[in-house]
């Protein structure tokens, strides 16, 4: 049932306040839900409890009908740029805050290898642009390198170069970035050594930021070493694993072993957390199957001429290890929507030769390399939050479905979690990881980012053939007290730039 409006103040005009009557308040803490009313005035939650007719005078009134009222979801791993695209599909799946600057990148670095505006200048532009969701950002390590003038292939920066890195990172954090991200499986992060990474941990810690990482290797045999590297490199800073997974791993027992390893680090005093998404396929560039010596700054045409047979053998072994050519589904470029096996059959070529022609810069693809039972068990851990790793218009269904799928599958269909714990993992847990004090929970005085929905009606409609289809079931989404998404349509653009420590 859609929200029933009992007072004026609709349209696109800002509402002075909202009264949500007869809701099941799931406040983000994990505590059992409570049937109550909630009064919002301006951008904050003013009161929780019985709201009389007189208190509601002049405000918009929504009849909750016992539906869940939860804090807006916080997506810990998002891509894109609100200066370029709207985040409507995120609002449709209940996300009111996105965290950008992931995998070592930066929305302020528009052209690969060339620094554009500084991150603080980009943040100021977002603050003035009236985004449709709240926007937070990290400072990307790869972008820091390029802004410091360090060549992508450099493995041992000089002391002077490291000082420039530290100074730029410090300026980003002072401007309100929530920490730093690394992308150690990608260029240029893959060339960074421990001396460089560890020099940045104290800078992050000084600002109480978080060190997030797309780690160096997520394969089952290497993921523990990658986590140890993250913890060591973070030093005194809080460490966070982006999109926790175990490629090639199988079964719940393997997940439990990995979680026990993480708990051991946490019990040892490290504030280690992670995020994950409820899908079996990752989504990244096809470069991930190419060897390091075929990636920039190496010239690919020269590599192919001089080491073509060796490169072909590597690609064949790597793709077969990753479940074969049927498990690589192109998401961009001329082959979007086709698997590598289908492209090869259409062209009448062997699939390794197709990959040789495409090259490491040949676009993005979904890679079906994960085991669902293992990934689902990882998502149940209390210190693992949600992060879509998606973007507006992304070609993986996680971009439009992650949070809705989590409610649909983990709360309603099986169920594996109570609604209170599922909401906590999408709200107060990510807020605590970032250090956001006034969002992620419904309490008096907090910012009014909230969702009204019936869990049984939530649907993730995106799939790998139609990855942009928006979710349904979130009837009303408030961002800073304003209706931002309602009855399947965008409403007010009420998002804000969030700054660490503000």
> What is the per-residue pLDDT for 117?
59
**For residues 130 and 493, what is the distance between their CA atoms, to the nearest angstrom?**
6
Q: Is the CB of residue 211 less than 8 Å from the CB of residue 180?
A: yes
User: Region 241-268: what's the mean pLDDT?
Assistant: 95
pLDDT in tens, 183-242: 999 999 999 999 999 999 999 999 999 999 999 999 999 999 999 999 999 999 999 999
> What is the per-residue pLDDT for 3?
38
Question: Rounded mean pLDDT of the chain?
Answer: 93
Q: Give the pLDDT band of residue 107 (cuts 50, 70, 90).
A: confident
Query: Can you name the residues that pair with 61 across neighbouring β-strands?
Result: 19
DSSP character for 424?
Answer: H
User: Region 422-444: what's the mean pLDDT?
Assistant: 98
Q: Is the CB of residue 366 less than 8 Å from the CB of residue 292?
A: no
> What is the per-residue pLDDT for 299?
95
Q: Give the pLDDT band of residue 29 (cuts 50, 70, 90).
A: very high
User: Region 132-142: what's the mean pLDDT?
Assistant: 97
The answer on pLDDT for 125 being more than 60 is: yes
Q: Is the CB of residue 423 less than 8 Å from the CB of residue 488?
A: no
Q: Is the CB of residue 135 less than 8 Å from the CB of residue 498?
A: yes
The answer on pLDDT for 2 being more than 50 is: no
The answer on pLDDT for 7 being more than 70 is: no
User: Region 125-140: what's the mean pLDDT?
Assistant: 96
H-helix or E-strand spanning residue 275: strand 273-276
pLDDT in tens, 382-430: 999 999 999 998 889 999 999 999 999 999 999 999 999 999 999 999 9
For the chain, give every domain's residue range.
Answer: 1-71+441-458+471-488, 73-280+370-426, 284-366
pLDDT cut 70: percent of the chain above it: 96
pLDDT in tens, 342-371: 999 999 999 999 999 999 998 889 899 889
Domain boundaries 1-71+441-458+471-488, CATH class: mainly beta
Which tokens belong to 213? 């990482």
Q: Give the pLDDT band of residue 283 (cuts 50, 70, 90).
A: confident
User: Region 459-480: what's the mean pLDDT?
Assistant: 95
User: Region 258-269: what's the mean pLDDT?
Assistant: 94
> What is the per-residue pLDDT for 113?
41
**For residues 84 and 159, what is the distance between their CA atoms, to the nearest angstrom?**
37
> What is the per-residue pLDDT for 381?
97
**For residues 370 and 280, what is the distance between their CA atoms, to the nearest angstrom?**
5
Q: Which residue has the higher pLDDT, 116 or 434?
A: 434
User: Region 78-87: what's the mean pLDDT?
Assistant: 96
Length of the chain: 502
> What is the per-residue pLDDT for 8?
31
Q: Give the pLDDT band of residue 112 (cuts 50, 70, 90).
A: very low
Instruction: For residue 255, give every residue at least 6 positions away whose Cβ sits within 8 Å of its Cβ, in sequence order, or none.
Output: 246, 249, 373, 374, 375, 377, 378
Pairing of strands 68-71, 17-25: parallel
Instruction: For residue 304, give every residue at least 6 positions away whose Cβ sits within 8 Å of its Cβ, in sequence order, or none.
Output: 294, 311, 356, 359
Q: Give the pLDDT band of residue 115 (cuts 50, 70, 90).
A: very low
User: Region 291-316: what's the mean pLDDT?
Assistant: 96
Report for 104-108, 166-170, 281-285, 296-300: range of highest mean pLDDT: 166-170
Burial of 466 (0-12, 13-18, 19+ CB in 10 A): exposed
In the sheet that holds 328-330, the strands lie side by side as: 281-285, 364-368, 328-330
User: Region 258-266: what's the mean pLDDT?
Assistant: 96
Q: Just give the CATH number of 73-280+370-426.
A: 3.20.20.140
Q: From residue 182, how far is each of 114, 139, 198, 241, 386 by CA, in Å?
A: 18, 9, 12, 10, 18
């Amino acid at each position: 049932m859609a929200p029933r409006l009992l007072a004026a103040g609709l349209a696109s005009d800002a509402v002075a306040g909202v009264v949500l009557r007869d809701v099941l308040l799931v406040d983000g803490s994990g505590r059992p839900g409570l049937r109550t009313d909630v009064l919002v005035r301006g951008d904050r939650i003013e009161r929780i409890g019985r709201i009389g007719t007189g208190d509601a005078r002049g405000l918009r009134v929504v009849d909750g009908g016992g539906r869940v009222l939860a804090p807006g979801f916080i997506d810990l791993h998002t891509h894109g740029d609100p200066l370029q695209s709207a985040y409507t599909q995120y609002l449709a799946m209940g996300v009111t805050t996105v965290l950008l600057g992931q995998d070592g990148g930066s929305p302020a670095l528009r052209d690969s290898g060339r620094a554009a505006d500084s991150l603080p200048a980009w943040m100021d532009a977002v603050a003035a642009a009236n985004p449709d969701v709240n926007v937070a950002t990290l400072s990307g390590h790869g972008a820091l390198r390029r802004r410091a003038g360090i060549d992508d292939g450099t493995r041992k920066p000089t002391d002077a170069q490291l000082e420039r890195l530290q100074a730029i990172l410090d300026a980003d954090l002072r401007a309100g970035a929530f920490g730093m991200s690394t992308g150690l499986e990608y260029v240029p992060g893959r060339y960074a050594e421990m001396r460089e990474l560890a020099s940045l941990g104290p800078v992050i810690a000084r600002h109480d930021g978080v060190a997030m990482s797309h780690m160096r290797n997520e394969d089952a045999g290497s993921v523990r070493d990658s986590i140890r590297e993250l913890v060591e490199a973070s030093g005194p800073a809080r460490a966070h694993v982006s999109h926790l997974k175990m490629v090639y791993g199988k079964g719940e027992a393997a997940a439990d072993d990995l979680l026990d390893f993480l708990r051991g680090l946490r019990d040892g005093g490290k504030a280690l957390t992670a995020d994950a998404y409820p899908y079996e396929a990752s989504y990244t560039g096809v470069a991930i199957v190419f060897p390091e010596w075929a990636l920039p700054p190496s010239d690919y045409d020269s590599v192919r001429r001089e080491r073509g047979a060796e490169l072909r053998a590597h690609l064949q072994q790597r793709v077969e290890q990753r479940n074969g050519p049927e498990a690589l589904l192109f998401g961009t470029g001329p082959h979007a929507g086709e698997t590598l096996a289908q492209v090869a059959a259409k062209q009448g070529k062997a699939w390794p030769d197709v990959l040789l022609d495409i090259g490491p810069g040949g676009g993005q693809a979904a890679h079906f390399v994960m085991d669902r039972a293992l990934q689902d068990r990882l998502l149940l851990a209390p210190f693992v939050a949600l992060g879509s790793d998606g973007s507006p218009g992304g070609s993986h269904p996680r971009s439009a479905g992650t949070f809705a799928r989590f409610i649909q599958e983990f709360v309603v269909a099986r169920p594996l979690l109570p609604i209170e714990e599922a909401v906590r993992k999408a709200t107060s847990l990510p807020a605590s990881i970032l250090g956001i004090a006034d969002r992620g929970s419904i309490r008096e005085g907090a910012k009014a980012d909230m969702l009204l929905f019936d869990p049984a009606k939530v649907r993730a409609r995106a799939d790998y053939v139609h990855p942009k289809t928006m979710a349904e079931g979130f009837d009303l989404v408030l961002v800073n007290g304003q209706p931002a998404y309602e009855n399947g349509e965008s409403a007010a653009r009420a998002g804000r730039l969030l700054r660490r420590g503000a």
